Structure 1
Amino acid sequence: MHGESAVLLTIAWAIGLGLLAQILAHRFRLPAIVLLLAFGVTAGPYGLNLVHPSQLEEGLGILVKLAVAIILFEGALNLRLGDLRQAAREVRSLVTLGVLVSWVGGTLAALLIAGFPFPLALLFGALVTVTGPTVVQPLLKRMRVPRRLKTTLEGEAILIDPIGAILAVAVLDVVISIYGAEALTLWGAFWAYAGRLLVGGVVGYAGGAILSRLFKVRRLVPAELRNLVALAGVWLVFAIAESLLSEAGIMAAVAMGLSFQRGEVPEERRLRQFKEQLTVLGISLLFILLAANLRLEVIAAEGWRGVATVLALMFVVRPAAVYLAMRGSSFTWQEKLFIAWIGPRGIVAASVASLFALSLETAGFTDGERLLALTFLTIALTVTLQGLTANPIARLLGLKSTTGHRALVVGAGPLARYTARILEEHGRRVTVIDRNLSLVYAAQREGLEAHQGNALEEEVLERAGADEAESLLAATANPEVNVLTVQLAREAFNITRAYPVVDTPEKGAGPQLVEQVGGRIAFGRPIDIRDWEHALNYEPVETFVWAVPKEWPNVPLGEVRLPPELLPLVRIQGRNVEVAHSGQTWRKGERVVFLSRVPEAEALEALQRLAPVAQEE
């Protein structure tokens, strides 16, 4: 089959198989890139013969660049500049000294272990300096690690992509010039690297600033066209940078994303969601097309040398780069060790390696296919091993923590403020929202960050930081508002840990209402919130921290009949602090903060009596 039909089928098969791989990866909680690589190799000309990237000819390179522009812009758009400033020193060291050490180490590994010739080893070392935001960001989204640690890894992954990719392009220019007809001068070699970063940075920053200003002008760009205008803007800026200096578009895309978010554009969250969907589509399409060009026998030919080279990158080069770059950092040794382990490669390494293979073949190098094979082997092994072990290693190092992660508290009444203060005391970043200005002032007087607004409006939740919140407590005096707020938080912002306070059944918290919140009710059971707020204001209530005994039943809190005088507010699990809810199961070693309307001694005695009784049931 030739011509348009072959191109159409190739693209259709690539998109279909790519999205199927994404679905299966989500279903079985596997790194999507591993399945994408497997599907691509299987569907290519050397497998089932369904996908033929060669039919796209020069269009493949253009497709790669357009997709990479969206992927890098989206990654930069999701990087919070406020958080990045708190880890600026570590990120700066990782993308400068860390890149240099990774380049030297990767070159030596390819030279001494894989047996690459020096020019090819130099290229490979530059290629593997990048870590992929397309892998790192989804991985960290599923993990609860300290926010500064998360920001450091995300910042490195996003900023190192243009730095490492442009380094690799500059090295390619030097290699081809040395072994070609015209030698590159020292200034030419310097400009090949610094010039691309400078041109791309300036064009991208200007493009992001202009686009954000356009979006701020009321009624200039209709809401329904904003996503498409932003997409066109990203591609236009990328193309302008490329026309000024080849491969400068990579830096332009990242700079544009960072510049654009500084403008605080209205409804930026919807733009990010649109870009995230395009990123998933772009990654799916590209990995299938690029992997389809691989021949299994070429990968197999690398044998143990190839595997040993990748393991050297993971266990020697990456730890050495992190150690040298982070000397003097305030991070603990556990955090540094975790950073040293997380260095998966992604779509930028794959796309640049694919383009390099073609350039090397044109320049007369015969080992370009080996470079491509070892790069994809690096991607497959790092994503698989590090992606599957990140959670267990974080847990082993004691890094599973909610410290620094935002919690939203909707409602600024006495009980909501009381719970918010407890969360803050244990390291959570808390933001309180209420329509009542006097209650907002009361929260602010108590040292809480508080905003006035209706939490049933997406814009209000967005301004309060819902797009980066990990949990939400809806504790207004209206149970229906609480349930609707939880639904909005889950559907619009994907806050799965969202818990409403609901009233007693005779006051509206019937079975349908409980079903709407997924059965996870704040504080473990329906309560009369006004009654508890009255108690906080006018009764001698006490707060105490209770250690869960080994006899405590292994059942959800919603099935435990706690005394009505006791209200569990917060569960402390190591460095994780979360609102107590009916779906929680308490275990020995955990602690629970209780609010009690009876003396602490009497409350402790009631809990002690309850444990064996509940165990028998």
Structure 2
Amino acid sequence: MLLLISVFASKVANKFGVPALLLFLFIGMLAGSEGIGGLSFENYNLAKTIGDLALIFILFTGGLETEWKSIRPVLVQGLIMSTLGVALTMFFLGTFAWFMLGSFSSVMVGSDGINWVDGLLLGAIISSTDAAAVFSILKSSNLKLKGNLQALLELESGSNDPMAVLLTTTLVNIVKTGDVSFLNLGITLIAQLAIGIIGGYGFGRLMTWIINNIKVNAQGLYPVISLGQVLLTYSVITLLQGNGFLGVYIAGVVLGNSNFTYKSTILDFHDAISWLMQIGMFLLLGLLVFPSQLITVAPIAIIIALFLMFIARPLSVIIGLAISPYNNSEKLFISWVGLRGAVPIILAISPIAVGIPDAKTLFNVVFFIVLISVSIQGFSLGPTARWLKLENKE
């Protein structure tokens, strides 16, 4: 029933320009233990597992739909924003939380106060733009942008999760153990990115070869073959200590820009899988939150969200794209499309899983920030593009 309601809600969202992901979240919240559905769900580990699975297919589909000729001109800028941009956002936001939010420390991390590492952990969790949100809103709003802006935004959102995941898991370990090693952090980051890129390219080529050379009698089996290959790609790259999320995105780009058997059938299948995963993931995350607990963290979440949207994200874009060909209007729009979505919420589950004190309150803060980001930025993408004269009307 929730699945069908969400499908109908997406139709309403498309008609009135409402971000569909926001409606999926609210439907989950309404169905939850404090909503009219009364469904009780507090299994954070299961939610993280399902969220990771959903992100695998969302990122792969995003890669499939990305044209190499469109991302090639923005490859350098996209990689800078997905690495340096994420790190800068974490630094600015974490430092802001450390310096300015001491009076709110009892709300966020307990009565002992907030130190710099605690602040950086919060910054790392919400540092990346969300591929599901960006892909979905750009597609549902039928917004066509001038030049290669859309390619840059999709490349950044599809490839910056590895950096956020690595920074978050490292900082969770630092908060838990007190062991700080920035050298190990740098080495791990480089290794994960390298293995993810190389492995993704290799598996993308392998996918193309297998689909073109395996002979099965039923056309419907070809999408099933591709599904198995996606899971295999993520699993092997992860076992090799690379970043599986980056790997499946790269594999999707390689496969999507190749010629292979039953291409339209496979593309349509993965588009449907991506929508199913987005709906399921956001419904589940909506079930996971208790609306009454959001009220207590509203002041701090609003402050952090405003700082993120108007200071941290713009600063990271200005620095990251300092020597790029983009003009001020384009940089301003890139800053505004820094939507936060499911990834920060899923990452916020990690401190809960390892037993960090007051981690559930941190989860509620992140959830509230995501609601603000998707609501304000998601609703205003079209008007902002038109105001800045960046919409392609051709």
Please indicate, yes or no, whether the TM-score normalized by the shorter chain is above 0.5.
Answer: yes
Q: Map residues 103-182 of structure 1 onto 2, 5 A cutoff.
A: 103-111=90-98, 112-113=100-101, 115=105, 116=108, 117-118=114-115, 119-141=117-139, 142-178=142-178
CA distance in 2, matches of 1:254, 1:51: 34
Aligned: 1:320 with 2:315: yes
Give the distance between the partners of 1:88 and 1:240, measured in 2 at CA.
25
**Cross-structure match for 2:352:** 358
Please report the TM-score for the alignment, with normalisation by the length of structure 2. Answer: 0.88
The Cα shift of 1:148 comes to 0.8
Name the CA shift for 1:358/1:14 in 2 (closer, same or farther; >3 Å).
Answer: farther
SS in 1 for 2:148: helix
Which residue identity does 1:91 align to in structure 2?
G
Residue 360 of structure 2 is aligned with which of 369, 375, 381?
369
Contact kept, 8 Å, 1:130 with 1:164, in 2: the verdict is yes
SS at match of 2:260: coil
Counterparts in 2 of 1:175-214, with a 5 A limit? 175-178=175-178, 183=179, 188-214=184-210
1:421-570 alignment, distance < 5 Å: none
Equivalents in 2 of 1:344, 1:26: separation in Å? 18
CA drift at 1:94: 1.4
Quote the offset at 1:234 in angstroms.
0.8
Structure 2 counterpart of 1:320, one-letter code: L
The question of 1:92 aligning with 2:79 is answered yes
User: Within 5 Å, which residues of 2 pair with 1:1-20?
Assistant: 14-20=2-8
In structure 2, what is the equivalent of residue 538 of structure 1?
Answer: none
Instruction: Give the TM-score of the pair, scaled to structure 1.
Output: 0.58
The CA distance in 1 between the partners of 2:175 and 2:194, in whole Å, is 22
Question: Structure 1 unaligned runs (5+)?
Answer: 1-12, 402-575, 578-617
Structure 1 residue 235 corresponds to structure 2 residue 222: no
1:256 shift after superposition: 1.9
User: Matched residues in 2 for 1:123 and 1:347: separation?
Assistant: 17
Whole-Å Cα distance in 2 between the matches of residues 320 and 17 of structure 1? 39
Instruction: Tell me the residue number matched to 2:65.
Output: 78
Q: What's the offset of the Cα at 1:350?
A: 2.2
Moved more, 334-343 or 265-274: 265-274
What's the CA shift for 1:145?
1.5
Q: Could you say which residue in structure 2 is the equivalent of 1:301? A: 296
CA distance 1:15–1:239, shift in 2 (3 Å): farther
Paired position in structure 1 for 2:390: 399
The residue type paired with residue 362 of structure 2 is L
- Is the contact between residue 33 and residue 287 of structure 2 (CA under 8 Å) also seen in structure 1? yes
Superposed CA RMSD in Å reads 2.4
248-257 or 19-28: bigger deviation: 19-28
Provide the rounded CA distance (Å) in 2 between the counterparts of 1:14 and 1:166: 33
Q: Comparing both structures, which one devotes a greater share of its residues to helix? A: 2
- Judged with a 3 Å threshold, the aligned counterparts in structure 2 of structure 1 residues 195 and 371 are, in CA distance, closer, same or farther, namely farther
SS of the residue aligned with 2:220? helix
Question: Percent identical across equivalent pairs?
Answer: 23
Tell me how far apart the structure 2 counterparts of residues 23 and 357 of structure 1 sit (CA, whole Å).
Answer: 36
Structure 1 pair 264–38 and aligned structure 2 pair: CA distance change class (3 A): same
The structure-2 alpha-carbon separation of the partners of 1:106 and 1:27, relative to structure 1 and needing over 3 Å to count, comes to same
> 1:370 & 1:192 partners in 2: Cα distance?
29
Correspondent of 1:26 among 2, 10, 14: 14
Q: Which secondary structure state, in structure 1, belongs to the residue aligned with residue 324 of structure 2? A: coil
> 1:304-333 CA deviation, whole Å, 9 max, x = no partner?
221011011001111111111111322222
- Name the SS for the 2:18 alignment partner: coil
Q: For the residues of structure 2 that align with 1:144 and 1:251, how far apart are their CA atoms?
A: 26
1:569 counterpart residue number: none
Between 314-323 and 26-35, report the one with greater CA deviation.
Answer: 26-35
* Cα-to-partner distance string for 1:344-383 (whole Å, 9 max, x where unaligned): 11222222223x143242xxx2221122112211211111
Change (3 A) 1:38 1:17: same
Matches of 1:221 and 1:102, distance apart in 2: 51
- Following the alignment from structure 2 to structure 1, what is the Cα–Cα distance between the partners of residues 348 and 151? 27
Shift of 1:221: 7.4
Pair member with larger Rg? 1
Taking the aligned partners of 1:260 and 1:379, their CA distance within structure 2 comes to: 32
Q: How many residues align?
A: 381
Q: Answer whether contact 1:204 1:237 (CA < 8 A) is retained.
A: yes
Contact 2:205 2:255 in 1 (8 A): yes
User: How many Å separate the matches in 2 of 1:18 and 1:351?
Assistant: 20
- Tell me, what secondary structure is at the counterpart of 2:390? coil
> Pick from 36, 43, 48: which aligns with 2:24?
36
Cα distance change of structure 1 residues 60 and 317 upon mapping to structure 2, 3 Å threshold? closer
Distance across 2 between alignment mates of 1:128 and 1:338:
19
1:252-291 equivalences under 5 Å are 252-291=247-286
Alignment check: 8 A CA contact 1:137 1:154 kept = yes
Q: Find the counterpart in structure 1 of residue 111 from structure 2.
A: none
